[in-house]
Structure 1
Amino acid sequence: MSRPQARGRAGTRAHLSAGGSARRRALAIAALSAATLALGACGPPAGAISEWELTPAQPAAVSDVDQITWAVHAEPYSLDYAYAFDYPDNMVLANVCESLLRMKPDLSLEPGLATSFSNPTPTTWVYEIRDGVTFHDGSPLTADDVVASLSRHLDPEVGSFWYSVYQNVDSIEKTGPRQVTVTTRVPDSQFNLAMGNSSGVIESAKTLEEKGKDYGNSTGGVNCTGPFQFSKWTSGESIKLTRYDGYWRKEGRAHSSELDFVFMPDGTARTNALKAGEVDGTWMVPPEAVPILRAGSGGDVFFGTNATVNSLVVSDLKGPFGDLKVRQALAYALDRAGILGAGYGGYGEVTDALTTRSVWQGVPSASVDAAFTGLNGYPRDLEKAKALIKEAGVEGQEVVIATAPISNDFTVTAQATADALNQIGLKATIKTVTPNAYTTLFSDPSAREGVDLFYTSWYLSSPDALEMYGVLRTGEFSNYGGWDDPEFNRVVNQATATMDATQRAALTAKAQKIANEQLPWIPLFAPPTTAYLSDRLTGLSPSINFMYAPWAAALGAR
């Protein structure tokens, strides 16, 4: 998904995200064009092309600290869990609010506010609610709070960004003193897997009623169960959290008395603040800043598990890209290793799939291997690409690529794509819009009119690759190009109704292969999660689970 970073589920949630990373690095178009022609020389062959490796969790904190300052690339849209659909929103909210299940650093799920769950019939999910948990106002967590919290996603007046998780839900009911049962109209394996992200967050029913439309904004705040509690939101500047001493999970107690998130949309300013020790850390380090920060002496950059693939979305199948040969031609024409090197610093791996291995959870490794074996490869081959364009009969036709001044990878990808298209016989035009307008591409069909391609950094929010392919079914909100493949739809629907993880993985592998062959989106590369942490702190677990688990509670003094 990115909003400006481009995921984009609900428009902004772009999986780079709703607000858009404001890492901006202006490069002259002429220079970029020249660089694009020789992208292959900018980085080594396909695969991991820079010196980096996944970083293990850092040693546990040995003592507390008074305060931590964390840089965020954009101000959150909301702290209302129903609208927390982007990086800034969730990295803050994850420390304040908790879900029924919890996502671990390896992206597997464990009990959260629900001590257990069961699936006694194909269409029911039963949750046993944890006792001894209190909200930040001191009131106890009850089954009624769970019913009220989950039910908001079904309320049209709320307009939850997470409605797709609940689209098959028929009822949410209290079925015991500490038990809640969710009934779906059809078997839905994906519902429970989403209870480890923001769609499974639980808030006090009383708070929801009292705050009304102010809930989750800078004046209403939130009242949840996490290790930090909401203190103050200074619009345009920062959000302050303070430690909640009544936190139920003793081993998860926060090591910092205060946690300040400061909004720093300018990438250069953010990098300088990290170097100077003015802020203690950040997630999503701009690729161009990684070598600068790694060369410094005040902290280090860490690389962690991710669930993200950076791709080109084919947003118009009525034009030239309606012909599979044209989509294949672009895939063969792109120098993906060069794009990764020049645009993303080489931090990642070129891929032919729209998912990462990390999201194939709960299945044998052989099943995961099978899902990535036998996929079509698209090594750079300009002659093959030119031949495909000629066969399609579209030589000289115009193709429009939308981009925005969000970060270096956006600019490089747009220029490299335009160059590739021009070399194989099409006429490419780059349409540059504002970051906010780019976010709209993910939510407003009219914004995509006249746009053939746009770039996204799309992350998954559950530990199941099926989430990715579910959004590409006919009629889905995020099927931006209106791709329609009946066999793909059939396989994905069958997989959704399959509760056995191994059997579901086999069906998802079929969907992955169809998408790999049909290219409704063209995968480019899979980057790691990046973070920077000051040397005065430890306890960081670098992983994209920072979106949904209270990562900051573990940070403390060495």
Structure 2
Amino acid sequence: MRLLRTSALAAVAALTAAGCTGGGGNDDRSGADPSYEIVVNTPAAKGPIDKAKWSLYAEPQTLDYAYAFDFPVNTVLANVCDSLLRENPDFSITPGLASKYANPDPLTWVYTLREGVKFHDGTAFSAKDVVASLKRHQDPAIGSSYATVFKDVESITETGPLEVTIKLTRPNVLLNEQLAAAPGTIESADFLAKAGKDYGNPQGGVNCTGPFSLKEWKPGTAITLKKNDAYWDSTLIPKTGELEFVFIQDAAARANAFITGEIDGGYLIPTNSYDKLKTSKGKLYFGAITGSYSAAVTNLKGPLGDVRVRKAMSIAIDREGIVAAALSGYGTPAKAGIPAAGWATIPADRAKAQYDALPDLAQDVAAAKKLVEEAGAGGKKIVVATSPVAPEITVAANELQRAGEEIGLEVELRTIAPDAYTALFTDPTTREGIDLLITSGYDMTPDPLEFYQALQTGEFANYGSWSNPEYDAIIKQALGTADPGARATLTAKAQDIVLREVPGIPLWDSPMSLYLGERVTGVTPNITHLSYPWAATLGSAT
């Protein structure tokens, strides 16, 4: 197990709490106060509540865990489906549907499963469900977003009614921890077979073991969950009878729904509404996040195939201006793909010192113009995807366009609806014709290697198909290194290559945001809500 200690959270607060007002020239915060505190949890609920309404910025495209690769779907599924292991709000990893596990040799993991667990339809949970659920990720016909998590798996077998053994072809220290998140989700084998191609859609639904079950999915309107009174973990039997997820794509409409009390809460709050929400009847919270916002290079066959052009775009950007204009100062310019919080397998002071030692990505327009000229890229066109999913995405895309055109490139903005924007991360065909995609990367585990191994050749989240043999070799070595400190040293070497080759352009670091109306409390505000059944602790604030 790896634990993100309280001291590590304090390091995150130190990195992010001093909001930058920047030099972008568009700071219209009008006296806004960007001070905030990073917390692990909100005050505990004082009692039950019959029903709560929660906002999502987009409707999930599916509730199939194999494609749960974005915030909306994981925010829902974390409460419906359990994984073999569990990631907790303090980032510790503990047993889940597996009551214990063993690693008798570097190539073997053995999971002993809990007795007496039942799926939402009342059928018993067993080893066959684990085998069926995990093997789906390996099936090319499924096309799981998490297929690469299992790339080193040789076999997944039922070695007893309540025992499953995973054999590896080579050591992979991340596999076990990733089974605490979406890759480790367990569904009924019989239900998977019965639902077939309808599994996870509004007609087929899901049948898991979590603290909530799926009651109804009205496409285009809402997903409603209901309390599972028979949940196997008595400490997490929900305090909320029903939880309705409402899809509100317009950022201003979401903020207004919070203020009027129409919606009880939500994650990923529109940044331009922070200060208004701070004065509302509810409360705005901030939690740790393990990733930074960046512009992923999704096309290396165009102008950005030349590393000089990628570097030019990076140093032409006014990051402080983005933080000021888009985040109202609630963040800092990023130096790398993940902040210090993403290095939770090493002491917090080492993580902070390591991050602080990275070079600032300072704006240098003259140097950027020179690089574009040297590359012979003047006048060439790049396409940047943008979306009204959040104001910071729009502001950042506009800044990418401004920066690119200032250094001699032609930059087209391609606007994509929020519910379609999420498909850019799961369906490669939707990225055709796009050169840059603004994304918020994050780790499912406390290990920074998870983030950087996703940039290996052929990895699903390597959106631009970037490839570097030296990088691949370092990642392979790190995956086989059991000692966290030594592994972090190797990961830092991989990070240096990424910063040198720029397969993605770091933009900014900002905390996870959560708004709770005056009626409710009790949930974690940090990134672990994508794996942990956060809504089980949601309840009455009075």
TM-score, with length taken from structure 1: 0.86
User: 1:39 maps to which residue?
Assistant: 24
1:491 aligns with 2:467: no
Displacement of 1:402 after TM fit?
A: 3.1
1:330 aligns with 2:285: no
1:252 aligns with 2:262: no
Distance 2:427 2:69 in 1: 16
User: 2:130 maps to which residue?
Assistant: 146
SS at structure 1 position matched to 2:243: strand
Q: 2:328 aligns with which of 333, 336, 345?
A: 345
Q: 1:544 aligns with which of 510, 527, 531?
A: 527
- Superposed CA RMSD in Å reads 2.5
Q: How many residues align?
A: 518
1:508 aligns with 2:495: no
Mapping for residues 301-450 of structure 1, pairs under 5 Å: 301-365=284-348, 367-369=350-352, 371-372=354-355, 374-435=357-418, 438-439=421-422, 441-443=424-426, 447-450=430-433
Residues 249 and 418 in structure 2, CA contact (< 8 A), matched pair in contact too = no
Distance 1:401 1:75 in 2: 23
Q: Deviations over 1:53-108 (max 9, x none)?
A: 21341222221111111122222222222222222211111111110111112323
Mapping for residues 77-92 of structure 1, pairs under 5 Å: 77-92=61-76
1:174 aligns with 2:171: no
The 1:160/1:56 distance shift into structure 2, 3 A limit, reads closer
Q: Deviations over 1:526-548 (max 9, x none)?
A: 22111111112221211111111
Q: Deviations over 1:168-201 (max 9, x none)?
A: 2111112234221111222112211210111101
SS at structure 2 position matched to 1:503: helix
The one-letter amino acid paired with 2:151 is: Q
1:242 aligns with 2:242: no
Distance 2:293 2:504 in 1: 10
Distance 2:81 2:389 in 1: 29
Displacement of 1:491 after TM fit?
A: 0.6
Residues 69 and 425 in structure 2, CA contact (< 8 A), matched pair in contact too = no
User: 1:126 maps to which residue?
Assistant: 110
Q: 2:444 aligns with which of 430, 450, 461?
A: 461
1:112 aligns with 2:96: yes
The one-letter amino acid paired with 1:42 is: D
SS at structure 1 position matched to 2:179: helix
SS at structure 1 position matched to 2:245: strand
Distance 1:393 1:157 in 2: 42
Distance 1:392 1:214 in 2: 49
Distance 2:232 2:419 in 1: 40
The one-letter amino acid paired with 1:379 is: A
User: 1:50 maps to which residue?
Assistant: 34
Residues 107 and 359 in structure 1, CA contact (< 8 A), matched pair in contact too = no
The 1:418/1:102 distance shift into structure 2, 3 A limit, reads same
The one-letter amino acid paired with 1:104 is: N
SS at structure 1 position matched to 2:393: helix
SS at structure 1 position matched to 2:292: strand
TM-score, with length taken from structure 2: 0.89
SS at structure 1 position matched to 2:66: coil
The one-letter amino acid paired with 2:153 is: V
Distance 2:90 2:371 in 1: 41
User: 1:272 maps to which residue?
Assistant: 256
The 1:270/1:433 distance shift into structure 2, 3 A limit, reads closer
Stretches of structure 2 that go unaligned for 5 or more consecutive residues are 1-21
The 1:170/1:345 distance shift into structure 2, 3 A limit, reads same
SS at structure 2 position matched to 1:196: coil
Stretches of structure 1 that go unaligned for 5 or more consecutive residues are 1-36
Q: 2:511 aligns with which of 508, 512, 528?
A: 528
SS at structure 2 position matched to 1:110: strand
The one-letter amino acid paired with 2:83 is: S
